[in-house]
Amino acid sequence: MQKPLSIQEALIWVMVTAAIADRNMTERELNQFERLIGFLPVFQGFEGSVGAIADACSENLKSVNGIDHILDRVAMSLPERLYETAYALAIEVAASDVDVKQEELVFLQMLEDRFALNKLAVAAIEHSARVRYRKIG
């Protein structure tokens, strides 16, 4: 059995997996990682290498049952009170491109199911992202 990820590593794994779900991590998504890690209290004191953490996550994703393995490691590493935070981070990354792809939606559904998130909380998180990323025209 592998050792648990740190809480911050687990949250970064969620963001990375959301970004590469459609097999295309964009510059916007990378910028969103930096922005979120730079200002959210849950990342206060983080001094790790996002690149190294992202590489480890990507390697796990390539393995047999990679997505399940990632979800297992993340769920094992996060306290339950941060499940909604992880979901919100995944939403932020997926929404940063404004056009959320089907593969990203599938990952979000898997995350919601794995964490057994409250449907009202999920709806509120998703609505909040839609409002923040709405275009003018």
pLDDT higher at 134 or 93? 93
Per-residue confidence band for 4, with pLDDT thresholds at 50, 70 and 90? confident
Nearest by Cα to 22 from 101, 92, 90: 101
Instruction: Please name the residue ranges forming H helices in 21-118.
Output: 27-39, 50-62, 66-77, 83-95, 102-115
pLDDT for 110-131, tens place per residue? 999 999 999 999 999 999 988 8
Residues 19-28, buried b or exposed e (16+ Cβ, 10 A)? bbbbeebeee
Structure tokens at 20: 């590469």
Residues 36-68, buried b or exposed e (16+ Cβ, 10 A)? bbeeeeebeebeeebeebbebbbebbeeeeebe
Is the pTM value of this prediction over 0.85?
A: yes
d(CA 46, CA 108): 25
Averaged pLDDT, 31-52: 91
Domains, in order of start, for the chain:
7-132 (1.10.3680)
pLDDT for 96-108, tens place per residue? 877 777 888 999 9
Averaged pLDDT, 14-25: 87
Q: Are 96 and 32 in contact (CB under 8 A)?
A: yes
**pLDDT value at position 1?**
58
DSSP state for residue 41 in the 8-state scheme? G
